[in-house]
Amino acid sequence: MSAATSPLAILGGPKAVQSEAGDMFTWPIITEEDEQAVLEVLRVGGMSGTEVTAVFEQDLVEWHGVKHALCTNTGTAALLASMWACGVGVGDEIIAPSLTYWASALPVFSLGGTVVFADVCADTITIDPVDIEHRITERTKAIVPVHYAGYPCDMDPIMEIAGRHDLKVIEDVSHAQGGLYKGRLLGTIGHVGAMSIMSGKSLACGEGGFLITDDEELYERAVAFGHYERTGQLQHPDLKPFAGLPWGGAKFRMHQLSSAVGRVQLRHYRARMEEIQQSMNHFWDLLEGVPGIKAHRPAKDSGSTMGGWYAAHGLYRAEAIGGLDIHRFAEAVRAEGAPTNAGANFPLHLHPLLNEADIYGHGKPTRIANSNRDLRQGPGSLPVTESIPTSCYSVPWFKHYRPDIIAEYALAFRKVAEHADELTP
């Protein structure tokens, strides 16, 4: 088809997206209520206190229906404290997906431990339960499933495997606050749920994170690691004698401007999340059955949900549309006026920091510094994870249910997929 007659914007046709986006993508939503909460903390000089944070923790306990919540200054700190609380130490191993933000795995190095990566499933892009068990050794201490791009990991088999091998499960909920797995809130299924709530995430407080658990000992250990000011309250006989100093030599206290914002954000989160769910599900409903593209979301009757749809992605199946290169696909969708990029997080196992860097001066790569074998994983070792750069793409993250505008964005993807033959040489 000649350029002049193609409907595709990249070939000279009209753009699918004609409406102004307005505040469709604005996040977090900050109102006078957030501003007021911050001003109150500033005016009493309470930035480094703990009273607001303590109330925020109580809010988080009530929301999740758990016994304990502990706020931290970052999600990375929540994950590091969780790993140590779960007993990860020198020579120990965690099992995590390679497809994630680095903080799901890299903190283990500062404990003298290391990470073994498991592959992900092609349709969920979360850790593949079938790829976990054969990676367990006598050194494995914990599994770190990541509810990647909002998709709830298949927790039942993961908990079953962990139970049989006496391993702890640390859910990384940074992409999925408020999401459900078979009706249960994410973060409450594993032994501990840890997450970031920095400004980009769907629950957004500024810089910050938290962990939740029903396990008294895990909670106390997490406190002991990076919250020296609370160590006087700890009851565990192994921790009590060391009150006053943090085991981790770390200070993880949340800034109270963050806890103040977090409280307000949480108050509105469920309603805002509902609208995001409705909007994103509408987007994918409009694309149901379009060749080459596939929704990344659990089945409607599964009781599982995507929560706030942080880092929303779609799945790409080039073979269904003549092998169109995903980068060309993304370029054509962008030309239609919809934001998208091919791929997702870069596979961690192929990064030189995981293979070559000697971070602490062991005289060998940190990944294997305290290991009894070379557990590094080279190219080809995690095939599904390695296919991610060409098997998925980001999609617009709608915050408001405005079906007419959402339809324009859906049309951008539909047009390109349905006219893929015009883009293949």
Residues that bind ligand PLP (CB under 6 A): 74-76, 79, 100-101, 103-104, 146, 172, 174-175, 196, 198, 209
Instruction: Compute the distance between CA of residue 253 and CA of residue 403 in angstroms, rounded to an integer.
Output: 42
Question: By C-beta, is 13 or 262 nearer to ligand PLP?
Answer: 262
Instruction: Say which DSSP state 122 is in.
Output: T
For the four alpha carbons of 253, 254, 255 and 259, in that order, the dihedral sign comes to: negative
Least distance between ligand PLP and beta carbon 132 (Å): 18
Task: Report CA-CA distances (Å) from 167 to 22, 51, 173, 195, 218.
Answer: 47, 34, 19, 20, 13
Least distance between ligand PLP and beta carbon 285 (Å): 27
Instruction: Compute the distance between CA of residue 207 and CA of residue 72 in angstroms, rounded to an integer.
Output: 9
Least distance between ligand PLP and beta carbon 22 (Å): 27
Pairing of strands 209-213, 192-196: antiparallel
Pairing of strands 168-172, 140-143: parallel
Beta bridge pairs of residue 146: 172
Least distance between ligand PLP and beta carbon 208 (Å): 7
Crossing angle of helices 256-286 and 51-64, in 10° steps, is 30
Least distance between ligand PLP and beta carbon 310 (Å): 8
Least distance between ligand PLP and beta carbon 303 (Å): 23
What's the CA angle centered on 422, arms 329 and 324, to 5 degrees?
35
Least distance between ligand PLP and beta carbon 368 (Å): 23
Question: By C-beta, is 234 or 312 nearer to ligand PLP?
Answer: 312
CB 172 within 8 A of CB 79: yes
User: Which residues are within 8 A (CB) of 158 and not within 5 positions of it... i.e. 6 or more apart?
Assistant: 127, 129, 132, 143, 145, 169, 190
Question: By C-beta, is 80 or 167 nearer to ligand PLP?
Answer: 80
Question: By C-beta, is 209 or 337 nearer to ligand PLP?
Answer: 209
Least distance between ligand PLP and beta carbon 404 (Å): 32
What's the CA angle centered on 197, arms 272 and 150, to 5 degrees?
65
Least distance between ligand PLP and beta carbon 31 (Å): 23
Question: By C-beta, is 102 or 401 nearer to ligand PLP?
Answer: 102
User: Which residues are within 8 A (CB) of 41 and not within 5 positions of it... i.e. 6 or more apart?
Assistant: 47, 52, 256, 257, 260
Question: By C-beta, is 187 or 209 nearer to ligand PLP?
Answer: 209
CB 263 within 8 A of CB 37: yes
Question: By C-beta, is 104 or 277 nearer to ligand PLP?
Answer: 104
CB 116 within 8 A of CB 172: no
Least distance between ligand PLP and beta carbon 165 (Å): 24
Question: By C-beta, is 114 or 370 nearer to ligand PLP?
Answer: 114
For 205-254, give the DSSP string. -BS-EEEEES-HHHHHHHHHHH-GGGGGG---TTTGGGTTS-TTS---PP
Q: Which residue is nearest to ligand PLP (CB)?
A: 75
Q: Which residues of 175-191 are buried (b: 16+ CB within 10 A; e: fewer)?
A: bbbbbbbeebbbbbbbb
